[in-house]
Amino acid sequence: MKYGITCMIILFSYSLVHAQQTATLSGKITNTPGEAAAFANVYIKELKRGTPANENGSFTLSGIPPGNYTVVISQVGYNTEKRQLRINPGELLELDVQMTENVTALQTVEVIGRKEKSYKNTTSFIGAKTEIALKDLPQAVSYATKELIADQGVMRVGDIVKNFSGVNQNTFYDDLIIRGYRINGGSNTQLLNGMRTSTGFWKQPLANYLERVEVLKGPSSALFGNASPGGVINRVTKKPLDEVRNSVSFSTGSFNTLRALGDFTGPLTKDKSLLYRLNIGYEDANSFRDLQFDKNLVIAPSISFLPTDRTRVNFDLIYNSSKSRLDRGQSTFKDDLYSTSISRSLSATNDYLNEETYIVTIALNHRFTDQLSFSASYIRTGYNEDLLEHRGANQYAVDSLGREIPDQIAMQVFQRKRKRFIDNLSAFFNYKAQTGVLDHNLIAGYDYAQQEIPRGGSQLQANGYLTTDGGTRAYDKDNPQDFRFGPDGNPIPNVAHFDLTDPVASQQLKDMNNYVYTVRSYGPELYNSHGVYLQDQISWEKLKILVGLRYDYYTDKLSYDTPDENSIHQEAFLPRIGVTYSVTDNINLYGTYVQGFEPQTASNMDPNLGGPFDPLESNMIEFGGKSSWFNGKLDATLALYQIEQKNTLYAQPGTDVLQQIGKDRSRGVEIDLNGRILPHWSLSASYSFIEAEIVKDAEGNHSGIQKPNTPKHQGNLWTRYNIDHGRFNGLGAGFGTNFVTERVLQQNSAQTIPGYTLLNAALYYTVNKFTLQLNLNNLTDKTHWVGGYDYIRLFPGTPRNWLLTVGYSF
């Protein structure tokens, strides 16, 4: 007993003496504008010990033996700071450090995750192939960070883009309008981490694995090859962090929504040379639309390997399994927009859409010297579609005299299986040099893109009216003797019409054996493109000039892998020039001119559709300004632009035949605001005016009609305020509104959909590591439509709804 007490006294005495001998280092890390450098890394070189600062930039390192040490403070995007310290026994030492931004020293591929937690993003990889400060990029970029996305409680890109000036949803699909020009997920012009990829087009994937969504406005062909003249959407995935951050959340809400998300990241090794991140998501939700549902599973692991300070490798995988029904939109009585419920769907109970997508990316960056580096990325996308759908035939039913029946929709059935594979390789050298007073940031690179639809893709389709010879075709009122007629005296449809007056009966299980089918093949198809480019950003004091030239060579193989295979080549030289001038430390003015190129694919070369067609050619002139306010906490962008494109394709009314319009034009003004006004008051706002019209049609006439689904005015506001002290500490509130004006549905058509204004709100409560969030959307239950083709294919917006989320971080 005495021995035990003696040992305890000795141990206690040793601990006391040791505690008196060791020291504690604490302090706060800030950046140049005086903001807290959240999660900056503080590291004692000699002890090989460190700690991250918290979200307020504060840190504490205890148990430090006396001695001389080098303290290293680092954070991506800032110059590394070093301090030589003499630490004495028992000392409580304060160390405050202000870090300075260093864009030129930043990584040239996006490997390390973004640590900031705000609506503001200061840099991007999309505008210049390597990381560049947004203020120095002579082109407008709109973006939404994961913090804004989470605060709004949204999970689809179509909902996220309402925060962007000049961007709006076109349909329910992965289908958007940018500055009056349409892009969609199936067109292979969307980007993932700056690389070409594709979605299934029909469904928008979950966004839980995204760090941010951004759009580079205007033709981007000088950087990425063939692309829409309106701009490109880039989805940036969450990358591994060099510190442990884990979170899980569970959501439930309107339309029987259930969602579970997880985000886990941190180092795998003590020296932090191997980092990981894993995002997982599960969703099971119905819809306000009849018979519609979504079941999604997303698994997105990411690994970063940093063997030296000169070499970085990143691996990403996104796997998405989706089970749902394809929603082709709402149909109304002829020319009567409000005649049916916005919940009305033309689907049948036995319809289904099963999609499976994987996207694999590997990226390498190696710095040979401080001036020369090499970057290479490869991305592989695989898509598998299994579809059965009852859908409208894009026209009303007809009677025996060929007259339209205003409450009956002509129907058709598609049963389809197909696959698609996309490969994209990008490699470039980056060289920094000086010639006299000029600084150069040179990039020379090569891109390769390929899309293949292999053999086996095919579709059974049933449509038209039954003929006396046992076949089907479109009804011909001038030859009624060729068709079979029912008891009502009208031609018998191959697929029963959808009766808008009795939707329940029309949505029942269908006997698929009674249809007369025809077969359509999908594939094999193959196209590829090669691109080489040279770009230089020249800096002289307050002036920066970005010049670039790209050569693109596009090949599409008609009748691929058959004896009739024929290669069609299209090519273009694509210049780009932009100028940025720093008027003051927080105001930059810019101007830019770029050209765009979008070749016609094999599907548009079919003579039965009016082909072959010339490639799309576009150009843009843009001027604007970028500024920062409230000590750099809030960024603002103003852009004025004009885009012109010739050879645009439009379907002729009532047919699938395409027509090549002579020339169209989009011009407008855009404003974007992102960041914070006060430390706990965040803001995102945008406004755009767009005048997008056909200036010369196929006959040389000026139509003056606004382009389809493009509002002249649209805007958005979202703001959040948090209380950080007192009785209501941890409580926060958010409010938002967005509006669009009236839109034309189809070219040369009088059908329009009205403008609308929506109000949204949110409540937040944080206690310790738990968060509670309630989102209330469309508070006034406004009936509205996000887009559409005509009154047979309308895409209504969601009525009043709510979402409750519980989260835990550890």
> CB–CB of 693/662 below 8 Å?
no
Percent of the chain with pLDDT over 90: 63
pLDDT reported for residue 280: 97
Residues 478-483, mean pLDDT to the nearest whole number: 95
Q: Which amino acid is at 200?
A: G
789 Cβ partners below 8 Å, 6+ apart?
171, 329, 394, 708, 745, 746
Q: What is the pLDDT of residues 49-88, one digit of tens each?
A: 888 887 778 888 888 999 999 999 887 557 788 899 888 8
Q: Tell me the pTM.
A: 0.84
Q: What is the pLDDT of residues 409-465, one digit of tens each?
A: 999 999 999 999 999 999 999 999 999 999 999 999 999 999 998 988 999 999 999
pLDDT reported for residue 566: 79
Residue scoring higher pLDDT (49 or 294): 294
For 170-256, where are the E strands, in sequence order? 175-178, 181-184, 190-192, 195-197, 210-217, 231-237, 245-253
Tell me, rounded to whole angstroms, the distance of Cα 328 from its chain centroid. Answer: 22
In the structure, what pLDDT confidence band is assigned to residue 279 with cuts at 50, 70 and 90? very high
Rounded CA-CA distance 527/466 in Å is 38
pLDDT surpasses 80 at 602: no
pLDDT surpasses 80 at 222: no
CB contact burial 710-730 (16+ within 10 A = b; e otherwise): bbbebbbbbbbbbeeeeeeeb
In the structure, what pLDDT confidence band is assigned to residue 635 with cuts at 50, 70 and 90? very high
Residues 487-507, mean pLDDT to the nearest whole number: 95
Rounded CA-CA distance 706/665 in Å is 10
Mean residue pLDDT across the chain: 89
User: What Å distances lie between residue 5 and 9, 627, 640, CA to CA?
Assistant: 6, 69, 81
Q: What would the DSSP string read from start to end of 540-551? A: ETTEEEEEEEEE
8 Cβ partners below 8 Å, 6+ apart?
none
pLDDT surpasses 70 at 7: no
Residues 215-219, mean pLDDT to the nearest whole number: 89
Residue scoring higher pLDDT (263 or 633): 263
Tell me, rounded to whole angstroms, the distance of Cα 646 from its chain centroid. Answer: 27
Least confidently predicted of 600-614, 619-633, 664-678, 693-707: 600-614
Q: What is the pLDDT of residues 114-140, one digit of tens each?
A: 656 789 888 888 777 777 889 999 999
Residues 101-107, mean pLDDT to the nearest whole number: 46
Residues 253-277, mean pLDDT to the nearest whole number: 95
Rounded CA-CA distance 194/211 in Å is 13
pLDDT reported for residue 342: 97
| Residue 160 backbone class (left: φ over 0; alpha: ψ -120 to 50; beta: rest) | alpha
pLDDT reported for residue 749: 67
Q: What would the DSSP string read from start to end of 419-431? A: EEEEEEEEEEEEE
pLDDT surpasses 70 at 15: no
pLDDT reported for residue 22: 85
Residues 761-765, mean pLDDT to the nearest whole number: 97
Q: What is the pLDDT of residues 685-731, one digit of tens each?
A: 999 999 999 887 766 677 778 889 999 999 999 999 999 888 899 99
Q: Which residues pair with 95 in a beta bridge?
A: none
Q: Note the residue count of the chain.
A: 810
